[in-house]
A and B are shown apart, each in its own frame.
Chain A
């Protein structure tokens, strides 16, 4: 079955420190992976995606993600966290045919303290 797992319900970091939000995936073919962010009472906002090519993907707001095929991981990273980065982060995989649904992980709550 196609799925993603986010092993941490919550991640706490101090402002200015690097942050990592973890995601592992399980797919039967080539993985198409996405990261989204959600602020309270809002929809999800797209951050970045990996389809093919370079393992390090750069996205919005200074975020990047590293695709690691051997570890089946797609961790989200940022070199220097901001308080405004505090939100819910979701990893997602697109299974089967191109252009179909996304399957989301359960989410990780990121808290950045000043």
Chain B
């Protein structure tokens, strides 16, 4: 178990640019989640996948945000035309859910900190 890996750790970009983050979950985990966290706040849910299927997307999520998990393994989160309000920590988490693993906790990566200037 090497844990959830997120890249890059830090990203500084100019307003209007596109950015993409990558998440590699724990290898046997079938569920993958994306959260956003701003300073002094709890993580805010963005979206989650079971295998390659995107099961839920937050209504708060702008259409500038898109996430994929094409082969049911790693995932990418893309933000198009970034705005200063997108500056935050983007957290990825994974879990194993199934008959032998019910209500499993989420295992988080260390996040990607995005700064939009």
Contact = CB atoms under 8 A, between A and B. Distances in A.
Nearest to A43: B108
Nearest to B34: A101
A102 interface: yes
B7 interface: no
Interface residues of B, number: 27
A107 B42 contact: yes
A45 B43 CA distance: 13
B45 A99 contact: no
B95 A99 contact: yes
A39 to B, nearest CB: 10
Interface in B33-71: 33, 40-45, 48, 55-56
Contacts of A101: 33, 45, 48, 56
B85 to A, nearest CB: 19
B106 interface: yes
B45 A94 contact: no
Contact of B91 (A44, A98, A103, A105): A44
B4 interface: yes
B103 A51 contact: yes
A67 interface: no
B87 to A, nearest CB: 15
Contacts of A49: 103, 105
A46 B108 CA distance: 9
Contact of A100 (B40, B42, B56, B110): B56
8 contacts: A42-B110, A42-B111, A43-B109, A43-B110, A45-B108, A46-B105, A99-B103, A102-B33
Interface of A: 32, 34, 36, 41-46, 49, 51, 90, 92, 94, 98-107
Interface of B: 4, 31, 33, 40-45, 48, 55-56, 91, 93, 95, 97, 102-111, 113
